[in-house]
Amino acid sequence: DTLSQTPLLVRPLSDMPLFEANASADTACISTAPVFTKVAAQLDGKAKSHDASWWALMEHNVGRLPGTRSSWAISAAWFAFLAGVASTALIPVPSHWGFFIAILIGLIFSSIWLPDHGDTVLPFCTIIILPIVVFKSVAMGGLWSYSILLFVFVVIPLADFIVGVDAGNQTREIQRELHTAFRFEVLTLLVAPGILGCLCYAAWLANSGGLSLLEFGGLSIGTGIITGVVGIVAGHELCHKASRLERVLGRLLLCSATYGHFYVEHTLGHHKDVATDHDPATSRYGESLYEFLPRVVKGEFVNACRIEAARLRRKGLPWWHNEIPVYFLVSAGIALALACLTGPQAVPLFVAQSLVAVLLFESVNYLEHYGLERRELKPGQYEQVQPQHSWDTACRVTNHVMFKLERHADHHAHAGKRYQTLQAYDSSPRLPAGYATMILLAFFPPLWRMVMHPRLLAHRLQQVGQVFRHGPTPGPALPKAKSTSCCRSALSEQTGERSCRATPRRAAPQE
């Protein structure tokens, strides 16, 4: 349960087990075994420290006593909240569209008053909001079919700001207890039939004959947001588990977005190579979202093929044991099954929603490790994965909708932990807002750099002695008397341009 904090060499891929009874310091980043790190008694269950840079009105669970549990009244309040959200699906549109929007947004913002101590599964059931908004928007028709975009990139950021952040952590004892709580596991298992049901309903709508081309586009985008935000995220959670059922359903969810090879690359590639130049899913200093997306989509596929080929060679298996073509066949099978059940329009719908889901999920990848680098101990060998190699964010609304994916530092340091036990570390760098807000910023690279580069450079200053491979290696400010023309045009935190004190970039290893 306790790992050494001494940086260790990452062993070659062929020596890295995935299924383990107990994880070592070397393998915790990819192991299916959970690790609940032992800390000093006074720090056990202590909340994450306040961060004045958070974009939030409220900060939940700051003064919560370690070991606090939810009462029956808290669970009842969350149940009533979810019943209210679910009941909005019964509001008829277009006749009551304004009423539907007002009630739904009001309910989301009202969750600010609901306590969450992390031991009830009900807050994570708010994932039902997305399909309700998508299908109500399509029923409204016209340009309203795209209102899911306003919901994701306007309403959700506002909700993250108003409802605020959850800085609470759990004691080691409660983490162990929650890890085996089936109520959390069953929710992620139910996502698989839920996503397939959404795909069936969307395919039926596409073939109903009542949609214009404009509305078909809105349906495709909305369905892709469902499979990208809920489906791939839940699939990602399931693929890190040792249970055969969870891993099968996790891969099925990835295949529902034509991204099954992500299972191979993510578990044995990204988690081993994160924050190095060998990882296509780590965005580099100064790299825009538009530069990152084609690189990561291509790089993850190539890396998955390389990893799978190495597995076959290592085990002496013939080529037809390669899993990657199987995942694409499963995706094709889903599309054809939808076409047989509902009609031919299901195929272009499936392709379009897969594209949206993949781009949305990889936009999340862009945020999670931007500009972060692991220390290279010697050529090709890096320090072990630690919390400072992932960006965290504590926004409560998006953490509920995305199964605490935003507590990403703990997930990478201890990949076998279930979502309900992920902790928020003071040592990890912090995004100022939730993923929806940050993706919106990333659409505008100058704005993204203006917000992120000061935070990134402040974090780099804490990595004493580390030479960074991309972007500047910041150092202490020079005395004014020694300033030169070069130093007067030194690093601008807003633009990230080089100063004379920046260490020149070294050649990146070949991927």
- Could you report the per-residue pLDDT of 171-218, keeping only the tens digit for each? 999 999 999 999 999 999 999 999 999 999 999 999 998 899 999 999
Beta bridge partners of 376: 382
Region of residue 483 (phi > 0: left; psi between -120 and 50: alpha; otherwise: beta): beta
Residues 6+ apart with CB under 8 A from 357: 224, 225, 227, 228, 231, 232, 257, 259
| pLDDT tens per residue, range 302-340 | 999 999 999 999 999 999 999 999 999 999 999 999 999
Residues 356 and 289: their CA atoms lie apart, in Å, by 15
In order of 123, 188, 398, 424, the CA distances from 163 in angstroms are 13, 24, 10, 18
- The answer to whether the Cα torsion of 19, 21, 24, 28 is positive or negative is positive
pLDDT number for residue 300: 97
pLDDT number for residue 18: 58
Torsion of CA 205, 209, 215, 217, to 10 degrees: 70
pLDDT number for residue 326: 96
Here the tokens at position 58 are 């409220």
Here the tokens at position 189 are 């298992």
Question: Which residues of the chain are under the pLDDT cut of 70?
Answer: 1-18, 476-511
**Contact yes or no for 208/200 (Cβ under 8 A):** no
Query: What pTM was computed for the model?
Result: 0.89
